[in-house]
A = this chain, B = another copy of it.
C-alpha cells in the first residue's frame, strides 16, 4: 500500500484527485493540504510515501516544497503535478529533488502509474516537456533581471518598479533592457510574459 499526500490549492481538484487515486487498490490518500508550507508537517504526521505537489500554491511553491521534503524527510518522494508545462519548471523541479514531473492534461489512468514508478525509485518526466526543457536550456537571466521582470509583470511603469526595489530608475531600465535583449522581446511587458511562459520567473 502506497501512502499519498496531495497538495493543491484548489479544493475541488484536490478532492477529485483523492477520489481518483483511492480507486486504485494499492494507493491510499493519507493527507491533503492546500498550502505549500504545510506539506512537510502533514507528510511527517501522516507517514506519507509519495507527495503529489502542484506548483502554484500559497505559502510555498510546489518546487520549494519538494526541496523541503527532500531535506526534512529523505525517504519521501515528490511528484510535481501542475497545470503549466513551463520548460524551466522541469529543471528547477528536478534540481529541487522532485522525482517526477507530470502536467495536468495527461490521461487520468497514467497518474497512478506515475505514482507507482516514483515510489519504486524511478524518475517520471513528461517526455514532451523534457524535450522542450533541453531545447531552451537554463534561464539566461541574472537574479536581478528575474526580480525586476516579476515586478514588470503587471505592467507597472519603471518609476514604480524602481521605488519597489529601492533602485535608481536608470539602473532598472538597464537591467530590463538586458532582459529584453535576452528574451528577444521589444518591451519590458513582453519580456516579462515570455520569461513567465518559459518558467524563468
Contact = CB atoms under 8 A, between A and B. Distances in A.
Contacts of A14: 108
B155 A104 contact: no
B10 A104 contact: yes
Contact of A20 (B20, B102, B187, B192): B20
A11 to B, nearest CB: 5
A134 interface: no
Contacts of A83: 10
Contacts of A109: 15
A191 B156 CA distance: 10
A163 B171 CA distance: 32
Contact of A13 (B16, B185, B186, B188): B16
Contact of A12 (B81, B153, B157, B193): B81
A154 B193 contact: yes
A105 interface: yes
B13 A23 contact: no
A9 interface: yes
Contacts of A20: 15-16, 18-20
Contacts of A23: 19
Contacts of A142: none
Interface string A17-52: 111100100000000001000000000000000000
Contact of A11 (B10, B15, B106): B106
**Top 5 closest pairs, chain A to chain B, by CB:** A15-B108, A155-B189, A155-B190, A16-B16, A19-B20
Given A10-B83, A15-B107, 8 more contacts: A12-B81, A12-B105, A12-B106, A15-B20, A15-B108, A16-B17, A16-B19, A18-B20
